[in-house]
Amino acid sequence: MSSSEDRDLVARAVSGQDTAAFGELVRRHQSHVRNFLRKLAGDHTLADDLAQDCFMHAWDKLHTFSGRGSFIGWLLKVAYTTFLQSKRKSKRYAEILESAGHVADQESRSTVLPSDEVTDLDKFLAVLTTEERAIMVMSYACGLSHREIGDATDMPVGTVKSVIFRGKQKIRNSFDIKDHQHG
């Protein structure tokens, strides 16, 4: 997946409102974005809906991609923002339900997987905060550099490093990684 090809496709999509060029970008990166959101949201259906919203937002904001970093880094920033917005909205919705006297457990219900589908990764991710989870996934699943993660999350590189360190420590404290490693 060449970044220069990505830049060419972005240029084509921006200059001529070329939906075919953007379609190619979606085809190239949908797997990364959907995997990122699936790990973040913990719910495949919700994650895929968010991925669609993410690409719609990306289309609207494509002209803001400067080409300085990688396109996937920029795309994951859009995905992360989309996820946070949706989380805020569902929180507000839960608050409205609660104030109306309903039991507001919509969010927790949507993120809980059936026990037989819970993987080791899900258990690891469960001990992390949303921010830690996003950064760990960007780093270990998507292979983004600390600088790219900093750009995606609007954080200094030093903060990114300390969040990763903290995340690893939490995982270490909650699970015996060495035992896991040796089966």
> Where do contacts with other proteins occur on this chain (CB under 8 A)?
17, 19-20, 22-23, 26-27, 30-31, 34-35, 38-39, 48, 51-52, 55-56, 59, 120-121, 124, 136-137, 140-141, 145-147, 157, 168, 171-172, 177, 180-181
Distance CA 77, CA 97 (A): 30
User: Helices 44-61 & 19-41, crossing angle to 10 degrees?
Assistant: 140
Structure tokens of 162?
Answer: 């300390």
Nearer to other proteins, 91 or 172 (CB): 172
CB of 169 to other proteins, least distance (A): 10
Residue 57 beta carbon to other proteins: minimum distance, rounded to whole angstroms: 11
How far apart CA 98 and CA 61 sit, in angstroms, is 35
Nearer to other proteins, 79 or 137 (CB): 137
* Inter-residue contact 77 to 68 (CB < 8 Å): no
Q: Smallest gap, in angstroms, from Cβ of residue 97 to other proteins?
A: 29
Q: How far apart are CA 170 and CA 167, in angstroms?
A: 5
Task: Give the shortest CB-103-to-other proteins separation in angstroms.
Answer: 33
Helices (H), the chain: 3-16, 19-41, 44-61, 71-99, 106-111, 120-126, 130-136, 146-153, 157-174, 177-181
Q: How far is the CB of 23 from other proteins (least distance, A)?
A: 4
Return the half-sphere exposure (C-beta side, CA atoms, 13 A cut-off) of residue 32. 24
Residue with smaller CB distance to other proteins, 12 or 168: 168
